[in-house]
């Protein structure tokens, strides 16, 4: 079958909104039953903003424990997402009937290192957008050996590429462990996964970046991501997607919305096409439909008020050069992107700070500096230009010190008058 | 220390390992998404003083019950100290009865998301002030 040409439904929708100056906003939303999920999608569809729908699968489906998902459904137990495989393609197709369409594309979000069964299920249900990646859904989310995840993702990408309607695939590489991963590394992983997708036949992709701790730095990072995407992936249909902060979230309503609105302004100022939001209750539980709708509207309004792309005076702290160095070096390590990724992690040249997966060296370290910027403490084996100056630059991390860094945004948004930078 | 089979969260595990080590504990961290069989076999191999289960994805109640029933049903592991904590359901801390059910099925203590860390350390015989005897109802009321 000839590979599809031109962007698919998901990307066409994002392009259209972008040309109208609108930020596409998207929830992370998943419910166990078809009824709840349909109500959720319906509510998101009617939000006064350019929205795309999300079906987040539950974590049994993520680890291919479909029997536990089925059992939970039978017993009426609460699931933390939609068990797409357990429900089956027919029920999922029915769920989307009259909801998903050109004006409301729906993406399946999951977290699976071995997404074969899920991808078959979503394709059979007529879904044409999903996300993840061989690294970003293996190292932080599973115990699956990286080489096995790479093989599984290669097969899955090729399966998606063989479908007559273009399927959109988003890299989750810009969000490793949610926080405390240096921006240049996030960007590198997004681009490398994008290259992996392209190598396996996909031409309709997006590249992610997760909001961190300093808006100026994030603007620099997103600008670097866009430049690198043009250089490395210019022959694909790509756009950028920003995640509202994925780390420890503020507890107060005011703090939570403050951080959300800052992410929407960041998206607008950096020309990001799509934003995945968080809600006011993120710190304590899985949000309700109403809470998701509130968050989407808040984010859309904040982006509209900002509406300036490419602000003057973007700082240059070398994020672009670092990411370029990491990508270029990684690609020398294998005859294809997948092999290069596996080898880079085995050598510790790619290394995710604090990630416990057995195939991650876990030697490099990040920290939040006295200006609130997320920086390298010790890059260990990661080949950035300043690596030699920074190597071994680590003090013993304590539980208190880690919590201080993890809760940096929580503190400053919950108590704006008491900003204290972690040491 | 471990998570449960369907939970991929990691920061809780990184933090708890540091906390336990700073308070004199020796920690073997099995990491995220640990299948029940792995937790059981590692406990049989290591024979730890205590098994700490930390989970925040909302399936902790379901997965924790399944795991503790297997542990308590095992001749060798039946008497091991096992505690669980984190965010155990999808509705925050509004799940009355959930903690009681976990304890009734064999957990020595249940620590929900806002539990006091000193009491957690106390329960494991670690930390300062020096371990004191705590009534079981006291431990279980967090």
What is the interface pTM, i.e. ipTM, of the complex?
0.89
- Confirm whether B138 is domain-assigned: no
What are A59-72's pLDDT values in tens digits?
999 999 999 999 99
Contact B6 A68 (CB under 8 A): yes
Contacts A356 to B, Cβ<8 Å? 10, 13-14, 29, 31-32
Which of B7, B18, B31 lies closest to A399 in CB terms? B18
**pLDDT band at residue B92, thresholds of 50, 70 and 90?**
low
- Residue B104, Cβ neighbours under 10 Å: how many? 11
State whether B14 and A356 contact (CB < 8 Å): yes
Model pLDDT for residues A17-41, shown as the tens digit of each residue: 999 999 999 999 999 999 999 999 9
Cα gap A416→A91, rounded to integer Å: 47
pLDDT of amino acid A6: 81
- Of residues A395 and A194, which shows the higher confidence score? A194
CB spacing of A398 vs B22 below 8 angstroms: yes
pLDDT for residue A417: 76
Mean of per-residue pLDDT scores for chain B: 86
Q: Which residue has the higher pLDDT, A10 or B96?
A: A10
Interval A327-352: pLDDT, tens: 999 999 999 999 999 999 999 999 99
pLDDT in tens, A224-252: 999 999 999 999 999 999 999 999 999 99
Tens digit of pLDDT for each residue in B108-135?
999 987 788 999 999 999 976 544 443 3
Compute the nearest-CA separation of A250 from chain B (Å): 14
CA–CA distance, A238 with A378 (Å, rounded to integer): 32
Chain B residues in contact with A72 by the CB 8 A cut-off are: 62
Closest CA to A219 of A234, A238, A240, A198: A240
CATH code of B107's domain: 3.40.50.280
C-alpha–C-alpha distance, residues A239 and A226, integer Å: 8
Share in percent of chain B as helix, strand, coil (round to 5): 40, 10, 50
Q: Any idea which residue has 């903690």 for tokens?
A: B99
Q: In chain B, what residues touch A58 (CB-CB under 8 Å)?
A: 59
- A67 inside 8 A of chain B by CB: no
Q: Which residues in chain B have Cβ-Cβ distances shorter than 8 Å to A355? A: 10
Q: CA neighbours within 13 Å on the CB side: how many for A243?
A: 24
Q: Name the minimum distance, in Å, from the CA of B16 to any CA of chain A.
A: 8
Residue B137's pLDDT is what?
Answer: 29
A395–B contact, CB cutoff 8 A:
no
Coil/strand/helix, residue B120? helix
Structural domain including B34 reads: 11-123
CB contact under 8 A, B22 and A63: no
Instruction: Tell me if B114 is assigned to some domain.
Output: yes
Shortest CA distance from A362: residue in chain B:
B14
Q: Which residue of A has its CA nearest to B2?
A: A356
What lies within 8 Å, CB to CB, of A242 at 6+ separation is A208, A209, A210, A211, A222, A263, A266, A267, A270, A272, A274, A275, A276
- Whether the CB-CB separation of A414 and A255 falls below 8 Å is answered with yes
Query: B69 lies in a domain?
Result: yes
Peptide bond into A194 cis (omega under 30): no
Does a structural domain hold residue B139? no
Query: Whole-angstrom distance between the N-terminal and C-terminal Cα of chain A?
Result: 57
Number of folded domains in chain B?
1
Look at residue B132 and tell me if it is in a domain: no
**Contact residues on chain B for A179, CB-CB shorter than 8 A:** 11
**CB pair distance less than 8 Å for B8 and A355:** no
In a domain, B50, yes or no: yes
Distance CA(B98)–CA(B114), nearest Å, equals 16
Q: Of A91-105, A274-288, A300-314, where does mean pLDDT reach its minimum? A: A300-314
Report yes or no: B53 and B41 within 8 Å, Cβ to Cβ. no
Contacts of A79 in chain B (CB under 8 A): 59, 90
How crowded is residue A252: how many other Cβ atoms within 10 Å of its Cβ?
14
Return the pLDDT at B140: 29
SS3 A241: strand
A203 or B97, higher pLDDT: A203
In a domain? residue B136:
no
Is B134 inside any structural domain?
no
- Enumerate the residues of chain B whose CB falls inside 8 A of the CB of residue A403: 15
Residues of chain B that touch chain A, judged by Cβ-Cβ distance less than 8 Å: 5-8, 10-11, 13-15, 18-19, 22, 29, 31-34, 57-59, 62, 87, 89-93, 113
Pairwise CA distance, residues A19 & A301, whole Å: 17
Q: What is the pTM of this model?
A: 0.93
Q: Do B62 and A59 touch (CB under 8 A)?
A: no
Report the alpha-carbon distance of residue B72 to residue A401 in Å, rounded. 37
Is B6 in Cβ contact with A60 (below 8 Å)?
yes
Q: How would you list the strands of the sheet with B50-55, edge to edge? A: B50-55, B81-86, B109-112
Q: B80 vs chain A: nearest CA distance in angstroms?
A: 25
Angstrom distance (rounded) from CA B75 to CA A277: 48
């Amino acid at each position: 079958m000839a590979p599809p040409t031109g962007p698919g439904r998901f990307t066409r929708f994002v392009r259209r909104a972008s040309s109208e100056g609108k930020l596409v906003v998207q929830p992370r939303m998943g419910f166990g039953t078809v009824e709840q999920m349909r109500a959720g999608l319906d509510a998101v569809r009617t939000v006064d903003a350019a929205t795309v729908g999300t079906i987040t699968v539950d974590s049994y489906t993520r680890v291919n424990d479909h029997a536990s998902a089925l059992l939970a459904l039978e017993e009426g137990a609460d699931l933390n997402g939609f068990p797409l495989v357990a429900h089956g393609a027919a029920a999922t197709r029915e769920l989307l009937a009259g909801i998903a369409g050109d004006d409301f594309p729906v993406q399946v979000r999951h977290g699976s290192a071995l997404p074969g069964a899920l991808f078959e299920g979503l394709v059979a249900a007529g879904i044409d957008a999903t996300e993840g990646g061989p690294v970003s859904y293996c190292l932080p989310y599973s115990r699956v050996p990286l080489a096995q995840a790479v093989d599984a993702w290669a097969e899955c990408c090729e399966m998606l590429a063989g479908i007559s309607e273009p399927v959109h695939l988003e890299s989750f590489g810009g969000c490793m462990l949610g926080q405390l991963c240096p921006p240049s590394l996030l960007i590198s992983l997004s681009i490398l996964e994008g290259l992996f997708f392209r190598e396996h036949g996909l031409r309709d992709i997006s590249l992610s970046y997760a909001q961190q701790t300093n808006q100026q730095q994030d603007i620099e990072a997103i600008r670097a991501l866009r430049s690198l995407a043009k250089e490395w992936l210019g022959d694909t249909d790509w756009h950028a997607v920003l995640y509202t902060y994925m780390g420890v979230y503020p507890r107060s309503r005011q703090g939570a919305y403050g951080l959300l609105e800052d992410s929407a302004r960041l998206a607008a100022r950096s020309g990001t096409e799509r934003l995945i939001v968080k809600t006011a209750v993120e710190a304590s539980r899985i949000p309700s439909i109403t809470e998701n709708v509130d968050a989407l509207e808040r984010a859309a309004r904040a982006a509209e008020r900002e509406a300036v792309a490419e602000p003057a005076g973007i700082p240059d702290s070398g994020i672009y050069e670092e990411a370029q160095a990491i990508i270029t070096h990684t690609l020398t390590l294998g005859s294809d992107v997948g092999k290069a990724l596996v080898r880079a992690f085995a050598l510790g040249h790619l290394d995710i700070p604090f990630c416990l997966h057995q195939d991650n060296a876990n030697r490099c370290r990040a920290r939040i500096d006295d200006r609130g910027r997320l920086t390298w403490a010790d890059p260990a084996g990661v080949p950035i230009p300043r690596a030699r100056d920074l190597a071994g630059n680590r003090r013993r991390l304590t539980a208190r010190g880690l919590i201080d860094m993890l809760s940096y945004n929580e503190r400053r948004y919950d108590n704006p008058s008491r900003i204290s930078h972690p040491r | 220390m471990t998570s449960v089979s369907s939970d991929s969260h990691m920061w809780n595990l990184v933090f708890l390992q540091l906390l336990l080590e700073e308070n004199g504990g020796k920690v073997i961290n099995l990491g995220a998404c640990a299948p029940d069989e792995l937790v059981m076999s590692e406990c049989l191999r290591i024979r730890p003083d205590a098994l700490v289960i930390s989970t925040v994805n909302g399936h902790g109640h379901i997965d924790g019950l399944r795991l503790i029933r297997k542990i308590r049903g095992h001749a060798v592991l039946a008497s091991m100290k096992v505690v669980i904590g984190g965010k155990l359901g999808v509705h925050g801390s509004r799940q009355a009865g959930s903690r009681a059910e976990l304890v009734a099925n064999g957990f020595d203590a249940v620590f929900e998301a806002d539990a006091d860390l000193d009491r957690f350390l106390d329960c494991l015989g670690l930390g300062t002030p020096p371990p004191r005897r705590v009534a079981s109802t006291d431990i279980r009321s967090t």
